[in-house]
Amino acid sequence: MLNKSSTKRGLTTGSKSPIIKLYQTKGLIWVDQVKTGKLIRQLRTQMGITQKELADRICVSDKAVSKWECGNGCPDIASLSALSEVFGTDIGVLLSGGIDKKETEKGNMKKLKFYVCSTCGNIITATSDADITCCGRRLEALEAKKAAESEKLSVQDIGGELFISSDHPMTKEHYITFVAYVSDASATVFKQYPEWGLQITMPLYRWGKLVWYCTEHGLFYQDL
């Protein structure tokens, strides 16, 4: 029997869900909702359909489509799956807003290192020791501190998906610039923006860790 949400979204049930494919992909995925939104707008205009027409096809409101296209929120996993069917695009491409080969790495994600440029805010990752320079300076890999109970991000199981949120400040002066899910085999980096609340939906991972970077307090991790 179809559950309510899959009936609402008009998705077919079956084992060949594209989302499964994405999260079995070994490697590093970057999620940038601003880029994702631009890509959705581009693909929709190429098809010659309105926001409302796209919304109807994937059973969401046109407000939701407009929100995504403005980069003001990322489609949830069911919507991403529906969008990839409508556009005939891989979910990984949608999430990263077009694949940037430089950002697609393979290797042991346990060794994934994070570098942040304090001048321009660039986030750079590497799976092996690398000479990373940005804005004319050599960057050191960041050491992640284990988050204390009060610093932890809130992780909720919302029926088959994990909902990550936090009441950490999100102002231009002090905010979380990214949250990454890291396991042995894969890593997904969710880029965050100041003045937008931290809210991320991801598949229901049962192990691995979350790694995030605060502009004032540095790199933290917590185990799932």
214 sits near Zn ion (criterion: CB under 5 A) = yes
52 sits near Zn ion (criterion: CB under 5 A) = no
Residue 200 CB, nearest approach to Zn ion (Å): 17
- What single-letter amino acid sits at 119? T
Residue 120 CB, nearest approach to Zn ion (Å): 3
- Among 19, 49, 99, 134, indicate the residue that binds Zn ion (CB under 5 A): 134
Q: Which is nearer to Zn ion, 58 or 116 (CB)?
A: 116
Residue 34 CB, nearest approach to Zn ion (Å): 18
Rg (CA), the chain: 18
User: Hey, what are 218's tokens?
Assistant: 């540095």
User: Hey, what are 215's tokens?
Assistant: 């502009």
Rounded Cα distance between 113 and 121, Å, is 16
135 sits near Zn ion (criterion: CB under 5 A) = yes
Stretch in the footprint of Zn ion (CB under 5 A) among 60-68, 92-100, 132-140, 159-167 = 132-140
Q: Which is nearer to Zn ion, 50 or 119 (CB)?
A: 119
Are the C-beta atoms of residues 144 and 179 closer than 8 Å to each other?
Answer: no
User: Hey, what are 75's tokens?
Assistant: 């489609």
User: Hey, what are 214's tokens?
Assistant: 């605060």
Of the candidates 169, 162, 165, 158, the one whose C-alpha atom is nearest the C-alpha of residue 215 is 169
User: Hey, what are 193's tokens?
Assistant: 């923006």
Interface of this chain with Zn ion, residues 86 to 125, rule: CB under 5 A: 117, 119-120, 122
Burial level of 213, CB count in 10 A (0-12/13-18/19+)? buried
Q: Which is nearer to Zn ion, 1 or 120 (CB)?
A: 120
How many residues bind Zn ion (CB under 5 A)? The answer is 9
Residues at the interface with Zn ion (CB under 5 A): 117, 119-120, 122, 134-135, 214, 216-217
